Structure 1
Amino acid sequence: MVSPSSLTKLVFLACFVLFTFSDKLVAEESDKVQLYLYYESLCPGCQMFIVDDLVKFFDSDLETITDVKLVPFGNAKVSDNMTVTCQHGEEECKLNAFEACAIKILTKPKSQYTFIRCVENNTEHFQQECFQGFRDEKDVNDCYNSDLSKKLILENAKQTMSLKPKHVFVPWVTLNGKPLYDKLDDLVSQVCNTYKGKAPLPKQCNPSALSEKKTTSKLQFSYANGAIKY
């Protein structure tokens, strides 16, 4: 029979181990490079970046050192009565809200990205293309058709408009809160160099791999005061 004092020690030891293990998990998660993409759904450069370039972080081991967050709002405006006006029209507002709902409903970053990449690659027919075998269709539609979608967009608006320094155009990418401006042609290398955690670097960070993947397609940035080709 275990004595009360021994039982107390065992409980204390178990709590200590659990706390230490949990703390380690949180620390490892916080070590990841925070890659935030601020974008709008019908911006050509945003579409190209999501479809052709951001995929590198999900079809490789780069996601082990990178925490990717997608924030749909971009260069939209919010009026005093909380009406949202989007740079590329009402259809963009609808898609932004739809994607915000998908991000809310789908909890795993890879699932979020996979769905949004499909939408950005098929904006005119995404419901036919991206809903095939998509088990969360009802939840995403329910979110979109409720007040929750507007709430999510206003949250994204607040996050976007609170950026320091302020975003000038989209796609706007930050690493650990620092903007890359238009220097997106070497994104993988910049993420590899930014990572300071203890986990081994992915093979994509090897010099030989980086030399092969150094270019990004030329993007058409959409500026807050208009669209200018870069």
Structure 2
Amino acid sequence: MTPNKLVFFFLACLLMFTFSDDNLVAGDSDKVKLNLYYESLCPGCQEFIVDGLVKVFDSDLHTITDLTLVPFGNAKISDNLTVACQHGEEECKLNAIEACAIKTWPNPLILAYAKQTLSLKPKHKYVPWVTVNGKPLYEKVNDFVAQVCKAYKGKSALPKVCNSSALSKSRESNNVFKLQVSYADEAINY
């Protein structure tokens, strides 16, 4: 990732933290629950945030979306609650910093995100792992805008981005976007 994209990635994360929420599935709100389970140094996660998830804010999709970011990804927790991240110690530090940015003191740390990630049903297979109303998108992740539009059952009008011409443009651009993923069963860097 180029230095400019890396800076944009972190700025995008900070902006998105403002909109993060703890709800996993649709409840009292009419909004679609869009969750991103990721790890900070995963190239595919960075790419998805910069090139994909940013569409929530580049359009009016944010009006029907409750976005939750969960910075844990494919990390593992030992019996003594030590976290080992897939991309090494630096990633663990960055995940913890992002967790702190999402939740303000005194409840900032990564173990809550570990619990949230490790209790997913079905279990995540890779990151970025995106769910809409608690259901994983799997190969439809590149078309997550259409999936959010489809999942919206609220009374307000659909956002402009959900109209068919905007979605077809989005789908056309997604055909060239091949998402990289980091599989959960890949080796962990210690």
Structure 1 counterpart of 2:74: 75
Residue among 112, 136, 150 paired with 1:155: 112
Alpha-carbon contact 2:38-2:129 (below 8 Å) kept: yes
SS at match of 2:157: coil
Alpha-carbon contact 2:33-2:133 (below 8 Å) kept: yes
Report deviation, 1:220: 1.1
Structure 1 counterpart of 2:146: 189
Structure 2 residue 180 is matched with structure 1 residue 223: no
Structure 2 counterpart of 1:34: 33
For 1:86-125, what aligned pairs fall within 5 Å after superposition? 86-105=85-104
Alpha-carbon contact 2:142-2:179 (below 8 Å) kept: no
Structure 1 residues 181 and 89, CA gap change in structure 2 (3 angstroms): same
Report deviation, 1:182: 2.5
Alpha-carbon contact 1:28-1:197 (below 8 Å) kept: no
Gaps of 5+ in 2: 1-25
Gaps of 5+ in 1: 1-26, 106-142
TM-score, with structure 2 as normaliser: 0.79
TM-score, with structure 1 as normaliser: 0.66
Alpha-carbon contact 2:126-2:182 (below 8 Å) kept: yes
Q: Which has the larger radius of gyration?
A: 1
- Give the Cα separation in 2 of the matches to 1:43 and 1:182: 18
Alpha-carbon contact 1:40-1:92 (below 8 Å) kept: yes
TM-align CA RMSD:
1.8
Q: Would you say how many aligned residue pairs link Structure 1 and Structure 2?
A: 159
Q: Which amino acid aligns with 1:71?
A: V
Instruction: Kindly report structure 1 stretches of 4+ aligned residues shifted beyond 3 Å.
Output: none
**Cα deviations across residues 16-68 of structure 1 (Å, max 9, x unaligned)?**
xxxxxxxxxxx996110000000000111000001111011012211110111
**Cα deviations across residues 96-125 of structure 1 (Å, max 9, x unaligned)?**
0001111113xxxxxxxxxxxxxxxxxxxx
Structure 2 residue 99 is matched with structure 1 residue 169: no
- Give the Cα separation in 2 of the matches to 1:212 and 1:201: 17
Q: Percent identity between the aligned chains?
A: 72
